[in-house]
Structure 1
Amino acid sequence: MSERIVYPSSMVEGYERDIINSTHAGFGVRLVAFLIDGIVVGSLKAIILNPLAKLFDWDLSSYVWAPIFSIENIASSMIFFLYFILMTWFFRATLGKILMGLKVISANDKPLNFLQVVTREWFGRYISGFPGYLLYLVVLFNPNKQGIHDMLSDTVVIYERQERLRDRLMAPFMKQNSTL
């Protein structure tokens, strides 16, 4: 089993640590990106579900056992999670993040793998959604500006325009870790 690379911002002192951490996106910009994504997902649901309901003569409010298992809830959940998983996997950002200049990277500076993306965008978002999205507030208090979904998947959200600066500052530490 390979040894995990220590996140360099904990190894540097002073202004370099401040610069590295300033590349991490905070709560406000991430909230705006999430609201944009909410509009996109809502639009996708309307574009996909309404025509399908008419085509197949579905009653979207019909359910099995409990209202939570209605066709509309199941299909809406699939659209929501697939949007976040596929966008993050292929583009390392959703449309909201792209518009805000953000992207998701692995905290240990390895390429994102599919398990990380699924953990972050499915399990992490599901957990962070309880109760009433309050667990997203963890980003406000975490020194690395990570939410529950980021911590579970070992990811961070960074400003794309500052990525090269961050990479240059971290390069010596990454070389040091690779020789260990």
Structure 2
Amino acid sequence: MVASPWRRLVASLVDGLILAPLSLLLRVLAGVDLMGPTTLIQDFFLQGLPTWAYYAGFTALYGATPGKMALGLRVVRLDGDRVDWLTAFMREVVGKTLSALPLGLGYLWAFFHPRRQAWHDLIADTLVVRRAGPEP
């Protein structure tokens, strides 16, 4: 069964609760002032790159991020197979970057698409589905 956009949104919020402290920890370890401005390079290495690694790594290795796991969701290819590293990269890095650029329109697309696919799902040929049972 295809996951609702609302459940996907809640899963994303859970992932954000995991990533926020990680980003703060990286800033502290790098000696960056928590209250001061950051450079584009600092943002990339302390927030962008770890976020991409988190999403792509969990999706490729487990088929879901911790947020998706908590909500009983997983990412699969259109044929139902597991997502490989290239598909995870295309979905989580390339696709989500493009989904976010035009004011998040690519994410909102899931609310209107018949299979609840956002742009990053369409780019990578993936679906987010409700977990049917335990993984083999």
TM range (shorter): 0.7 to 0.9
Residue 33 (structure 1) aligned to one of 1, 11, 17: 11
**Equivalent residue pairs, number:** 133
Secondary structure at 1:109's aligned position in 2?
coil
Structural mapping, 1:23-102, within 5 Å: 23-53=1-31, 61=37, 63=39, 69-102=40-73
TM-score (ref. length: structure 2): 0.87
Change (3 A) 1:136 1:51: same
Q: Could you say which structure has the higher helix fraction?
A: 1
Residue deviations 1:80-108, cap 9 Å, x none? 11110111111110111011000001112
Unaligned ranges ≥5, structure 1: 1-22, 64-68, 165-180
Deviation of the 1:36 alpha carbon: 1.1
Alignment RMSD, CA only? 2.2
Asked if structure 2 preserves the Cα contact closer than 8 Å seen for 1:146 and 1:156, the reply is yes
Find the aligned partners of 1:25 and 1:135 in 2 and give their Cα distance. Answer: 16
TM-score (ref. length: structure 1): 0.67
% identical aligned pairs? 27
Runs of 4+ in 1 over 6 A off after TM superposition: none
User: Letter of the aligned partner of 2:65 in structure 1?
Assistant: T
Unaligned ranges ≥5, structure 2: none
